[in-house]
Structure 1
Amino acid sequence: MQIDTNVLDLATTLQVGDVVFIRVRARPFREVATATASWTNHVGIVVANSGTETSIAESTFPLSRTTSLKRFAARSEHGRIAIARPRQPLTALQQVRLSEAVRHRMGIWYDTGFNLHSRRQFCSRFVREVLAESADIRVGELETFKELLARQPDAALGFWRLWYFGRIPWERETVTPASLLRSPALELLFDGIVQPAHAAANRSGGAQA
């Protein structure tokens, strides 16, 4: 794992279509990380990058939206971020299609049931479908809750029973941030701790003093 870069430097390396992984602190998402034996529990995709401002599209609660890389990174526990890029480079036309695919998915309610086939969205499904629709790139593994939880004896089944009001939907298909991160269609470019923009500015100012 690489360490100690800053969000401004990281932004200059990103391209439209890059997939950005973080770890958010909310309890349900921590349980997602445990159930998938992975540090990451949330994912977004770069939809625009001017060099100075990078926009991340994400499905989040309550509605899907775009946000800045700075805000996205600031939500990650301990500042950890991973960046993965499609091994198949996106053409200019595919980048335009990606922006359109994102736009069509803005303002959709978040699916707290993590159902791959619902009318709502959740983060890993959002990224998976945007890449598939815009560039025919398939990322992530489809799996049922039964398959997912059977592999992880440490998963908190009691929590998930409460989450699903007593009945875990064992046959429901889903896709997870962890399976996107493991996808052979993506190349891992960065995995490390990112310092906020103000920390980088303070260091720079101190060096010049």
Structure 2
Amino acid sequence: MKTAALIEAGDLIFIRVKARPFLEVSAATGCWSNHVGIVVDTSGAEPIVAESTFPFSRYTTLQRFVRRSEAGRFAVCRLAGGGLESQHEAIRRAAQRRMGVFYDTGFNLRSSRQFCSRFVREVLAEALGVEIGCVQTFDELYARQPQAGLTFWKLWFFGRIPWARETVTPASLLESSMLRVVGEGRLTVGC
């Protein structure tokens, strides 16, 4: 992966996971991306990404992370101000404190569990004092995407969608004016 040489600790990696719940997140947000992780180490042979995923938060290599994306699509984003070199250790420590936390399938910002966009948002808030993304209720999300179907979510939440629940989505992070895209592409097998 040629882009790996350009990646820095603190970069966000956006992908599109093919599992049904994640595809429904894409539909509900109107965004191609439905999963995000944060690079915490670039000192080895390959960058390491910290992520909240099912069943719990963990580290994975960049290639393994991107390989899970539909058609290998990914985007690398960096805080617009840059200059995070002195903050790499703080980012790594903030991510480490969140390792092993169970995944929140209810996407509840106030839960004791984690989900991908909340994980990344909290790592950056703790390490850098920066809050990216937009906190929204489920009701606000669907007001923006009224054409998105609700059948899946009615089943997912056993008939009662928690409309007032606050969440933060990968789309709101990707769309943040605090980030700039520094690389996009597709992972090709064998490269």
Bin of the TM-score, shorter chain as denominator length:
over 0.9
Q: How many residues align?
A: 191
Structure 2 spans left out of the alignment, 5+ residues: none
1:42-53 to 2 correspondences below 5 Å: 42-50=35-43, 52-53=45-46
Give identity over the alignment, percent: 55
The residue aligned with 2:140 is 147
CA contact (8 A) 2:51 2:116 kept: yes
Which segment drifts farther, 89-98 or 36-45? Answer: 89-98
The residue aligned with 2:15 is 22
The residue aligned with 2:26 is 33
Deviation at 1:156, TM superposition (A): 1.7
CA contact (8 A) 1:137 1:185 kept: no
**Alpha-carbon distance in 2 for matches of 1:91, 1:66:** 20
Structure 1 spans left out of the alignment, 5+ residues: 1-6, 201-209
Moved segments of 4+, more than 3 Å: 90-93
1:112 aligns with 2:105: yes
SS at match of 1:132: helix
Structure with bigger gyration radius:
1
1:30-179 to 2 correspondences below 5 Å: 30-50=23-43, 52-179=45-172
CA contact (8 A) 1:59 1:110 kept: yes
Deviation at 1:150, TM superposition (A): 1.5
Question: Normalized per residue, which structure has more helix?
Answer: 1
Deviation at 1:190, TM superposition (A): 1.7
Amino acid at match of 1:28: P
**Alpha-carbon distance in 2 for matches of 1:79, 1:91:** 27
CA contact (8 A) 2:9 2:41 kept: yes
Q: TM-score, normalised by structure 1?
A: 0.88
CA-to-aligned-CA distance 1:20-68 (integer Å, 9 cap, x gap): 0000110000000000001100000000012621100000000100000
Which segment drifts farther, 85-94 or 143-152? Answer: 85-94
Amino acid at match of 2:91: L
CA contact (8 A) 1:21 1:81 kept: yes
The residue aligned with 1:205 is none
Q: TM-score, normalised by structure 2?
A: 0.96
SS at match of 2:71: helix
**Alpha-carbon distance in 1 for matches of 2:82, 2:101:** 28
**Alpha-carbon distance in 2 for matches of 1:88, 1:111:** 31
CA-to-aligned-CA distance 1:133-170 (integer Å, 9 cap, x gap): 10112211100000001211221211111100110000
Deviation at 1:90, TM superposition (A): 4.3
